[in-house]
Amino acid sequence: MKELASTYQFENGLRIIQIPSPTNVAYCGISIDAGTRDEESGEEGLAHFCEHMMFKGTKHRKAWHIINRMETVGGDLNAYTNKEETVVYSAFMKEHFERATELIFDIVFHSTYPQHEIEKEREVIVDEIESYNDSPAELIFDYFENLIYENHSLGHDILGCAENVRRFKTEDALRFSKRLYRPEKMVFFVFGNIDFAKVKKAVEKNIAAIETAVHTDVAVKNDTVAVVNPGVHTEERNTHQAHVMIGRAAYGSKDKKRIALYFLNNILGGPGMNSRLNIALREHNGLVYSVESTLTNYTDTSTWAIYFGCDPENVDKCRRIVRRELNKLMDEPLNERVFNAALKQIKGQIGVACDNFESYALDTAKAYLHYNKFEGMEDTFQHLKQLTPELLQEVAKEIFDEKGLSTLIFK
């Protein structure tokens, strides 16, 4: 699809990317290079807080009007925050493109974060935090990143803490958004069967009243930190099940070895039920209900980790089995049959994933936001063709070495 992507950059730095869709449903939104890792000391949780409060009032609309604007035509309006992005987007029938575009620009650039709405919404966010705290299988992922990115903003919990949320005010949200919600730190993305000239015209209309100067006082992301806490770390949680994570910080986006780790991660614990860890821990030994291997990519680093939940008395046995599977990948290259089978599987998974248009649109926006380029499915396949069993073994030796891994156990 790479050849079908249309792009443009306005004088104020705002970039747009549009990819045609085979259906009459379209997606558009603004992806902002501002997330949890951009929070300064005392602001932990503020990125997510601002995302919530965007929907509570602008210079032109009250909360009720924001909610209804897309709902009345059968569309959806949504947003999310992660470590490096805040994204506001909508799904709709393509004839409502101008409506969605105008609303999204209003929310991003003209939100007022009214204090009376903050007073109502803050306990909703606190409830979200407490609900998350009640789910150790989810909570351990945040704790793990806090462990390996200690004293670094990349380890901040996305939701923050209840104490911070209860003290945030209008001026805090305005300060954060003014500092980071800048056109030069944004991409407007469209996935839909809409003429690109129409896309440009709609954006031009909505940026007319936005400050056009490119600012240089934008906060710079902190230098990332490699693994700082290798070894085993245990927290007493009095949970019925033990929850375990094993992993480390890994390659940044520009490292050519990143695709090899992506491939190894898929073999170990990807979405397939035939992943090595699922077969070893669940199918052969009946020790876990779920096990997964994840690779979370950031611009300058990544987090590779294995997660499983098991009975507390089986933790050591499960860890030994995991270690055995890692050692297999370190000790010898994959044979040609296994390598080709794994390559065929991952290409099929990528093809199926690209059929999820919403995810495809959001992934497009993320890639263009951070790297100013977009690579389609065929580009990914070309990267995979460069892999060899010898390179995979080299990466396995580097990343899976026990001396460099951190283990976090909730029990």
**DSSP assignment of 138-182:** HHHHHHHHHHHTTTSGGGS-SS--HHHHTT--HHHHHHHHHHH--
Is the pLDDT confidence value at 83 over 90? Answer: yes
Contact 159, 122 (CB under 8 A): no
User: How far is CA 286 from each of CA 160, 268, 276, 277, 357, rounded to the nearest angstrom?
Assistant: 36, 17, 14, 12, 36
Q: How confident is the model at residue 376 (pLDDT cuts 50, 70, 90)?
A: confident
Q: State the average pLDDT over residues 88-95.
A: 98
Separation CA 87–CA 320 (nearest Å): 40
Dihedral-angle region of residue 98 (phi above 0 means left; psi in -120 to 50 means alpha; beta otherwise): alpha
Q: Return the pLDDT at 167.
A: 96
Count CA atoms closer than 13 A to 107's CA, side-chain side. 32
Amino acid at the residue 74: G
Q: Return the pLDDT at 216.
A: 44
Q: Return the pLDDT at 128.
A: 93
Tell me the Cα Rg of the chain: 22
User: How far is CA 170 from each of CA 56, 113, 161, rounded to the nearest angstrom?
Assistant: 11, 5, 18
Closest CA to 305 of 227, 244, 226, 245: 245
User: How far is CA 38 from each of CA 41, 142, 181, 357, rounded to the nearest angstrom?
Assistant: 10, 16, 11, 29
**Which strands sit side by side in the sheet containing 231-235, from one edge to the other?**
231-235, 406-410, 242-249, 302-310, 288-297
Domain layout of the chain by residue ranges? 2-207, 231-410
User: Can you give the pTM of this predicted structure?
Assistant: 0.92
Is the pLDDT confidence value at 2 over 60? Answer: no
Q: CB-based burial of residue 384 (10 Å sphere; 0-12 exposed, 13-18 middle, 19+ buried)? A: middle
Q: Return the pLDDT at 354.
A: 87
Q: Which two tokens stand for residue 24?
A: 């009459």
Strand extents, DSSP E, 155-301: 186-191, 231-235, 242-249, 288-297
Residues facing 8 on adjacent strands: 16
User: How far is CA 49 from each of CA 52, 116, 153, 160, 164, rounded to the nearest angstrom?
Assistant: 5, 15, 16, 9, 10
- What 3-state DSSP class applies to 204? helix
Higher pLDDT, 160 or 1: 160
Contact 161, 45 (CB under 8 A): yes
Q: Return the pLDDT at 1.
A: 44
Q: Return the pLDDT at 225.
A: 55
Which tens digits make up the pLDDT trace of 297-352?
Answer: 999 999 999 999 999 999 999 999 999 999 999 999 999 999 999 999 999 999 99
Separation CA 249–CA 148 (nearest Å): 7
In CATH terms, 2-207 corresponds, of 3.30.830.10, 3.30.1180.20, 3.90.1170.50, 1.10.3720.10, to 3.30.830.10
DSSP letter, residue 35: -
Which tens digits make up the pLDDT trace of 190-224?
Answer: 999 999 999 999 999 999 877 644 444 444 455 55
Is the pLDDT confidence value at 239 over 90? Answer: no
Q: State the average pLDDT over residues 222-232.
A: 69
Q: Return the pLDDT at 224.
A: 57
- What 3-state DSSP class applies to 405? coil
Is the pLDDT confidence value at 140 over 50? Answer: yes
Amino acid at the residue 390: E
Separation CA 126–CA 162 (nearest Å): 5
Q: State the average pLDDT over residues 372-384.
A: 89
Q: How confident is the model at residue 245 (pLDDT cuts 50, 70, 90)?
A: very high
Q: Return the pLDDT at 334.
A: 97
Average pLDDT over the chain, rounded to an integer: 93
Q: State the average pLDDT over residues 97-107.
A: 98
Q: How confident is the model at residue 229 (pLDDT cuts 50, 70, 90)?
A: confident
Is the pLDDT confidence value at 145 over 70? Answer: yes
Count CA atoms closer than 13 A to 228's CA, side-chain side. 12
User: How far is CA 15 from each of CA 50, 81, 144, rounded to the nearest angstrom?
Assistant: 22, 20, 34
> E strand or H helix at 408, and its extent?
strand 406-410
CATH architecture of 231-410: 2-Layer Sandwich (3.30)
